[in-house]
């Protein structure tokens, strides 16, 4: 919203303050300042002159005129001009030598086209009054010669531009901004809507409302004998331009002027082009309308239309139809103003990608009481400026709407702001914004005597504050404050007008609690241990697309393909909530490799979204007028996807860096498995590893990770087709596991440390080459019994000494008893038992036996 300061002063008795001081007060009141635009402050030495003689110069590509202009000096000025829309005797604005035009353009005396030019005759655009550059600006003949044009035309002005948030629609008008300025400075406010239209006993044009949900007030007035050649006065064109609108014609300019002045959008119809009664309704299937921008639009069933017997003639509150527009021959005009549904206009505007100054106001909420006054203001201006005759009729179709009433304790604003406000202050501030305040709790609200949608009660607030009787007040917000709907809104009004700077800066008390949950603690411990081992944490968007699932080579029946689709996705390429962490990590890995980081280890922990078996396709949507009931919450919970906490890592390139100290080591599937083991160890869980086949991993290099008998994830080397699909480095490895499946029984207890010495036994077993090492280790661990403290694989050998198709696995077994020193016989017996079970389970034999 752009508010010229000179226009603002017409409605507010402002003291002699600058635009910056006004902007500061408005900002303190809650209106966000964008910028202040200054006009005409650099203009000087521009006066009114009278053209005495005009000599047409020939021999040039365009018409050139040499003029003698009287400017109130001893002798006339000689000026060369290329415009031809003025004649001798016209009064025109003249910039004398040494003068300055808007933008710092200096004008001097110079020789041009063979003649001396002592200044310049100006157009409206050169004076910064508009975009008209078709010819010289001709002033009224009675304008005194030599008058300062800056003062005459009001060239010097400041425009305060503000960003209006959706909740303060009243500020999208000079009326609304002026009211805020009057409150801020404590000075009188002159309401431009304070008019008394005459009573009307007949209709201006037959009209009615067919859909009360689309419109609850529709007003028409009529003028006849309008002069279509009448031009908008300069002051109106200047104000429209500085307020951000382009002057078009007198009839259209008047409707725009009243909209900027009062905040009520208007529309002008050519009466001769209307046929039959006007009806406000929703669109019907197959209807179309060619709007003023010459676009034929397919109308939607929810669109709000203004129609006559010919069909749609206007998209209500958004843009008029071409068939009934005001033309150069229009003499009879019907002015329309209405109060349309804000959500309806918002949906209509967005559905057609058609945003207008009118729709911006309607979708935020317009004063319901303005249509009668605004139409009277418009027809009065058409009569004064366009010579029209106002017809006595008035069409006023209306649906009764009960005004909202809000009952709150008078102390409630102070409770919200943390500053005690006396009841008198609360009442005064609410009345300043236009509210009607009555003492007590209106019994009609308690009985439900008015429409529920129009009532807000402070019963719960009063009960919480133990306030009753005269300390309760009932507030009726004004019609222009559609944002005041509940007690919190009223509290905000009191607080902002009293000043946000008066609120104390007090830190809230931290409520007593148990601190972090065990899941949160585990997530932090896992992050720390992975970071300590060289992994870098990343955060990816939780969105995936069909291409991500295809690139992972997932089967058609894989549960990870049952993704939850977003109603309004950020990107059409990623419309689903992720069911796995891998796509985001893999794309991050590719991005880093593309920027020269070939050796990289990444991890991410976060939620995934897995559809529940039998869940409904979409979650139910409930209203905001009450809290959902138990069965409604259950239905909502059933529709939501499961959201387990998962951890994933990806590795590529060198895991141990090479350098002067040695050769380094490439990342392998074993590193991915080890990352899972380190994470599980933070929960006090020892993982069991088994060979598996699971997409997107390589079928021969994939490990299933178990916590007891519970599958918690997979790790290994990615499938070559996945690597190719994502453009990953060769032999990229990954791990993904579900942290929520780890059995968290509380804080992890440190293992007991025995004071007795450890007994070590080494054993080398020969097994078939295809035997998983995890199966051998599991057999040894089970066979060794309770005395076994740990088992470690320290060598793998294949070659002639173990036979073709075999491999040798060498382990170190550590035995320890908590209460005594073990004997050699005990450790040997435990080792032999372990070897015997391995022989029975996997066919292992001692190497060298």
CA distance 130 to 42: 17
Question: In whole angstroms, what separates CA 795 from the centre of its chain?
Answer: 59
How many whole angstroms separate alpha carbon 657 and alpha carbon 597? 13
- 840 contact partners, CB below 8 Å, separation of at least 6: 779
| Element of type H or E holding 216 | strand 215-224
Spatial separation of the C-alpha atoms in residues 165 and 429, rounded to whole Å? 21
**Can you read off the two tokens belonging to residue 723?**
């690597």
Name the β-bridge partners of 761. 813
CA distances from 240 to 122, 130, 252, 466, 622 (A): 20, 9, 11, 53, 44
Alpha-carbon gap, residue 117 to 77, rounded angstroms: 8
Other residues' Cβ atoms within 10 Å of the Cβ of residue 572: 7
Q: Which residues contact 534 (CB under 8 A, 6 or more apart)?
A: 601, 655
β-pair partners for 92: 49
Angstrom distance (rounded) from CA 604 to CA 737: 11
Task: Tell me how many degrees the CA angle 81-86-92 measures, rounded to the nearest 5.
Answer: 75
How far lies 155's CA from each of 36, 149, 253, in Å?
A: 16, 8, 20
Tell me the backbone φ, ψ of residue 184, rounded to 5 degrees.
-65, -35
Q: How many helices (H) and strands (E) does the chain have?
A: 22, 42
Phi, psi of 61 (to 5 degrees): -70, -25
Read off the DSSP letter of residue 171.
G
- Give first-to-last CA distance, the chain, whole Å: 93
Chain-centroid distance of CA 249 in Å reads 36
Residue recorded with tokens 């959008």 = 265
The SS3 assignment for 539 reads coil
Stated as kind and residue range, the H or E segment containing 7 is helix 5-8
User: CA torsion sign, 246 to 250 to 251 to 255?
Assistant: positive
* Rounded CA separation 366/265 (Å): 9
User: Which residue, 128, 131, 132, 149, is CA-closest to 140?
Assistant: 149
45 prior amide bond cis, ω within 30? no
CB neighbour class for 107 (10 Å; exposed up to 12, middle 13-18, buried from 19): buried
Taking a C-beta distance cutoff of 8 angstroms, is the pair 808, 798 a contact? yes
Q: If DSSP states are collapsed to H, E and C, what string results for 322-378?
A: HHHCCCCCCCCEEEEEEEECHHHHHHHHHHCCCCCHHHHHHCCCCCCCHHHHHHHHH
Measured CA to CA, the distance from residue 152 to residue 139 in angstroms comes to 10
Measured in whole angstroms, how far is the alpha carbon of residue 706 from the centre of its chain? 44
Looking at residue 449, what is its pLDDT? 34
Q: Measured between alpha carbons, how far is 830 from 441 in angstroms, rounded to an integer?
A: 85
Give the residue carrying structure tokens 């008015």. Answer: 450
* Tokens 């009664």 found at: 277
Q: How many Cα atoms within 13 Å fall on the side-chain side of residue 170?
A: 23
Element (H, E) at 607: strand 600-607
Q: Residue 119, SS3?
A: coil
CB 494 within 8 A of CB 413: yes
Place of tokens 């009114």: 48
Q: What is the rounded radius of gyration, in angstroms, for the C-alpha atoms of the chain?
A: 41
Q: Tokens 């008058």 identify what position? A: 147
Residue 259 tokens, joined:
């909209």
**Beta carbons of 495 and 432 less than 8 angstroms apart:** no
Q: Is 647 helix (H, G, I), strand (E, B) or coil?
A: strand
Q: How far apart are CA 217 and CA 338, in angstroms?
A: 5
Report the distance separating Cα 525 and Cα 742, nearest Å.
14
Q: Which letter does DSSP use for residue 740 in this model?
A: G
- Is the C-alpha dihedral spanning 196, 198, 201, 207 positive or negative? negative
Q: Say if strands 32-39 and 543-544 run parallel, antiparallel, or are unpaired.
A: unpaired
Give the number of residues written for the chain: 849
Q: How far apart are CA 436 and CA 796, in angstroms?
A: 88
The C-alpha torsion from 38 through 39 and 43 to 47, rounded to 10°, is -150
Residue 428 buriedness (CB in 10 A; 0-12 / 13-18 / 19+): middle
Q: What is the pLDDT of residue 810?
A: 94
Residue 536: name the closest of 586, 595, 603 by CA: 603
Q: Which residues pair with 311 in a beta bridge?
A: 308
What pTM did the predictor assign? 0.66
For the chain, residues with pLDDT lower than 70 are 133, 441-470, 614-618, 743-749, 849
Dmax over CA atoms of the chain, in Å, equals: 132
């Amino acid at each position: 919203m752009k508010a010229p300061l000179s226009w603002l002063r017409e409605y507010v008795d402002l003291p002699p303050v600058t635009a910056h001081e006004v902007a500061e007060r408005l900002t303190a009141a809650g209106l966000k300042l964008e910028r202040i635009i200054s006009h005409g402050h650099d203009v000087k030495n521009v006066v009114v002159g009278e053209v005495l003689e005009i000599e047409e110069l020939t021999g040039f590509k365009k018409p050139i005129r040499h003029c003698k202009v009287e400017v109130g000096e001893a002798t006339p000025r000689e000026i060369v001009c290329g415009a031809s829309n003025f004649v001798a005797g016209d009064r025109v604005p003249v910039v004398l030598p040494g003068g300055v035009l808007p933008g710092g353009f200096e004008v001097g005396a110079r020789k041009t086209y063979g003649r001396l030019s002592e200044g310049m005759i100006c157009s409206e655009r050169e004076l910064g009054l508009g975009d008209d550059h078709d010819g010289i600006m001709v002033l009224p003949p009675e304008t005194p010669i030599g008058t300062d044009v800056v003062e005459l035309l009001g060239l010097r002005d400041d425009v305060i531009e503000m960003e209006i948030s959706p909740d303060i629609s009243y500020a999208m008008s000079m009326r609304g901004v002026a009211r805020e300025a009057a409150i801020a400075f404590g000075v009188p406010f002159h309401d431009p809507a304070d008019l008394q239209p005459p009573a009307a006993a007949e209709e201006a044009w037959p009209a009615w409302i067919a859909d009360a949900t689309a419109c609850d007030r529709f007003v028409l007035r009529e003028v006849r004998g309008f002069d279509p050649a009448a031009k908008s006065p300069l002051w109106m064109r200047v104000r429209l331009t500085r307020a951000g609108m382009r002057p078009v014609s007198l009839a259209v300019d008047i409707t725009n002027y009243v909209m900027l002045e009062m905040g009520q959008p208007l529309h002008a119809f050519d009466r001769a082009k209307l046929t039959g009664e006007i009806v406000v309704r929703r669109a019907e299937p197959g209807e179309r309308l060619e709007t003023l921008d010459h676009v034929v639009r397919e109308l939607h069933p929810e669109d709000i239309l203004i129609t006559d017997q010919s069909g749609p003639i206007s998209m209500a509150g958004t843009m008029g139809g071409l068939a009934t527009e005001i033309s150069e021959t229009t003499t009879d005009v019907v002015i329309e103003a209405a109060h349309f549904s804000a959500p309806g206009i918002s949906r209509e505007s967005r559905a057609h990608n058609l945003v207008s100054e009118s729709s911006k106001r309607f979708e935020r909420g317009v004063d319901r009481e303005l249509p009668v006054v605004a139409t009277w203001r418009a027809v009065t201006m058409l009569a004064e400026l366009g010579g029209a005759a106002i017809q006595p009729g008035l069409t006023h179709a209306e649906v009764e709407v009960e005004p909202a009433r809000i009952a709150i304790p008078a102390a409630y604003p102070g409770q919200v702001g943390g500053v005690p406000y006396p009841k008198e202050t609360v009442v005064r501030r609410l009345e300043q914004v236009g509210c009607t305040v009555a003492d007590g709790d209106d019994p009609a609200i308690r009985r439900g005597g008015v429409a529920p949608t129009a009532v807000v009660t402070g019963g719960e607030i009063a009960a919480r504050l133990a306030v009753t009787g005269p300390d309760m007040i009932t507030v009726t917000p004004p019609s222009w404050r559609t944002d005041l709907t509940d007690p919190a809104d009223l509290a905000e009004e009191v607080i902002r007008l009293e000043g946000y700077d008066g609120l104390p800066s007090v830190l809230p008390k931290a409520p007593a609690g148990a601190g972090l949950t065990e899941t949160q603690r585990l997530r932090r411990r896992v992050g720390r241990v992975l970071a300590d081992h060289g992994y870098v944490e990343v955060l990816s968007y939780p969105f995936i697309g069909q291409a991500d699932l295809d690139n992972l080579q997932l089967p058609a029946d894989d549960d990870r393909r049952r993704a939850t689709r977003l109603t309004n996705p950020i990107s059409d390429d990623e419309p689903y909530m992720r069911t796995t962490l891998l796509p985001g990590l893999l794309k991050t890995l590719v991005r880093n490799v593309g920027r020269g980081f070939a050796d990289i280890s990444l991890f991410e922990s976060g939620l995934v979204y897995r559809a529940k078996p039998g869940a409904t396709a979409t979650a139910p949507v409930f209203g905001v007028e009450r809290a959902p009931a138990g069965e409604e919450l259950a239905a909502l919970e059933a529709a939501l996807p499961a959201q387990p906490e998962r951890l994933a890592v990806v590795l590529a390139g060198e895991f141990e860096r090479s350098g002067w100290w040695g050769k380094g080591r490439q990342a392998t599937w074993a590193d991915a498995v080890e990352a899972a083991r380190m994470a599980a160890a933070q929960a006090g869980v020892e993982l069991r590893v088994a060979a598996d086949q699971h997409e997107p991993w390589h079928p021969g290099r994939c490990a299933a990770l178990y916590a007891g008998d519970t599958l918690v994830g997979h790790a290994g080397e990615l499938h070559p087709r996945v690597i190719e699909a994502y453009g990953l480095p060769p032999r990229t490895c990954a791990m993904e596991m579900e942290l929520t499946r780890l059995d968290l029984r509380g804080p992890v207890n440190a293992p007991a440390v025995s004071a007795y010495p450890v007994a070590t036994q080494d054993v080398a077993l020969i097994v078939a080459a295809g035997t998983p090492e995890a199966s051998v280790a599991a057999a040894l661990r089970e066979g060794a019994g309770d005395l076994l403290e740990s088992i470690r694989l320290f060598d793998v050998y294949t070659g002639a000494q173990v036979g073709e198709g075999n491999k040798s696995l060498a382990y170190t077994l550590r035995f320890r008893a908590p209460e005594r020193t073990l004997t050699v016989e005990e450790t040997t017996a435990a080792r032999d038992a372990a070897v015997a079970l391995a022989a029975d389970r996997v066919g292992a034999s001692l190497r060298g036996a």
